[in-house]
Structures are given as C-alpha cells and as structure tokens.
Amino acid sequence: MKAMVLKSFGGPDSFELCDVPKPQPLAGQVLVRVHATSINPLDYQVRRGDYPDLVPLPAITGHDVSGVVEEVGPGVTSFSPGDEVWYTPQIFDGPGSYAEYHVAAESIIGKKPASLSHLEAASLTLVGGTVWEALTARAALRVGESILIHGGAGGVGHVAIQLAKAVGAKVFTTVRDANFEFVRRLGADVVIDYKSQDYVDVISRETDGRGVDVVFDTIGGDTLSRSPDALAQLGRVVSIVDIAHPQNLIQAWGKNASYHFVFTRQNRGKLDELSTLVERGQMRPHVGAVYSLADIPLAHARLESHHNGLQGKIAIAVGSRHVS
C-alpha cells in the first residue's frame, strides 16, 4: 500500500511517499480502507520533532480516519466488511492515518454519520473529540452560560462554536475580520477582531463587567495569564495548547478560576455523541481545502503558515490527486 512516511524530524519535506506492507487485523481489530484523513496542528508538531521519544522513526503519522471496513479480526462483533467508519487512531501507539489502510481496535471506532462525506468525517474525528472533551467533560459548559472561543474560524474553533451553541451557551469568539461572516453563520453571538480589539474590553462591555463562564484556548501565547481578566467568578479555562513558558496566574486566584488542560482520549462514546449532533443538523465540519496523500507536505506547509487563508480544516483525499 502507499503511505506517507516520516523519515526524519524537520520540515514538510521530511515525508516520503513509500510502498509499505498492508497491515493485517489481529483479535479485536478492524482493517479499514482509508478514504480520507486530515491535517491538525498535532500533525506538524509530531513532524517537526516535538515528541521525539514517543514517535520512533521511520513512522506513519496522522490522526484522523474515515473509510470502509475491509476485514475484521477474531472476536470483532460491532463491524462487518463494507461498514463506513470514522475514528482517531490511538495517538503515539502505532501507525497513523497517512496511508491507504489502517488497523485499529474495535473499541475506538464509530459508525460514520451517513450525512457526512468521508472528507467531512475525517475533518471531525480528532477536533470533534477534543472539543467534546474540552467543553462538556472538562469545562462542563451548561445551558445559559457564556464562553469565549479563541480562534473561532480554525479547525478546532469552528467546531467548538457549533457545540457551544448546541449546548445553549452564548458564544464570544476571536477571529480576523475576513472571517466574521463565517463564524456568525456557525452561530457566534459576539465576534471580536483580535487585530483591532482587546477581547477583555469587549467582554467586559458586553457582560456589564461580569465576564464569561468559560474561556477555550486554542491559540496559546498569553491566553492563560490574561483569561482571568475576562472570566466571571468561578470561571473555567480550558486549553489544548502546549505551553512552553511559565505564566503568572495570580489573577485566577481572585476569580476562583479552574484551569483544565486537554489532550484528547480516543473512545467510541465521543464519536457517537458527535454523530447525534451531526444527524440533528447541529454540527457540520467545514472543509477549507483538500489535498492528496502525495501532497501532504504541501498541506502541512499551508497549515503552519500564519497567512494560510483557511476556514475550518484541511482534508486529505487518500488515493486522489491534489484538489485545492
């Protein structure tokens, strides 16, 4: 089978398209013909060498799968050949999704929502699971609360807006002006231009000084230290960003704030919850660009660029040529 193999840590040119043996399912495993995968910040973090002790080289990376079951191993009861499925491979535990075939444990695989294409489904598995864990399991966002979502037009942010609205929260989000209409269509209530406005000032004005109940950090920087200025009493901050440098959180003490750091865990339950929202019309991933398996280096380079012009996710059509 064809696979994009990471030969060394470094830039996008560290990948090489190779012929590798097709995997075989063991007991409790499912062999999936991968129709689509996608690109996440985690992917380029792995590629550039942020987790060298966890990724033995050479490696097949990638963290989203949408495809069709080709074969099941002994003991598998939930799936049969021909089933359309989606899932996030177990991160740092075996080969990833940048390949024509992938083997995974039955327990982490879900039935793909029928209303989503493979490209759309592959654009939701990792980010959807991350958002679900961040907002429902960790922040415990509730009906009638308010949330600030940083980077609302991005791969994670645009899904977070939809989940927050499905919960019944008021959504504030930061984006650049070109993405105002995009996030408004997703349901954002208050849109903040991060280049020309201070989100703390906007939130203070819009909430009469109360602040928001939850801040969802997808961008890093000084978000952890500044969040208390935008938080209500007993507010919660949830971050999915690696923080390389210490930050002073003394202001959080005065707000009785709680901080949560999320690295998503794989399970079928989250996928089933996301499927319910998708089928109700309350969530749909936005595919901003599509590349082929061979053009994964180009996709990585584009996602890493600060001026990539993207809304939503970059999807990879496995087996197809570069589309956009």
In the chain the beta strands, taken as DSSP E runs, fall at 2-6, 15-19, 29-39, 59-60, 65-72, 84-87, 101-105, 110-111, 146-150, 170-175, 190-193, 212-217, 231-239, 258-261, 287-292, 313-317
CATH topology of domain 131-261: Rossmann fold (3.40.50)
Going by pLDDT thresholds of 50, 70 and 90, the confidence category of residue 243 is confident
pLDDT tens digits, one per residue of 59-69: 999 999 999 99
pLDDT tens digits, one per residue of 283-324: 999 999 999 999 999 999 999 987 777 899 999 999 654 443
- Enumerate the domain spans of the chain: 2-124+285-317, 131-261
CATH topology of domain 2-124+285-317: Quinone Oxidoreductase; Chain A, domain 1 (3.90.180)
pLDDT tens digits, one per residue of 31-75: 999 999 999 999 999 999 999 999 999 999 999 999 999 999 999
Strands 212-217 and 231-239: parallel
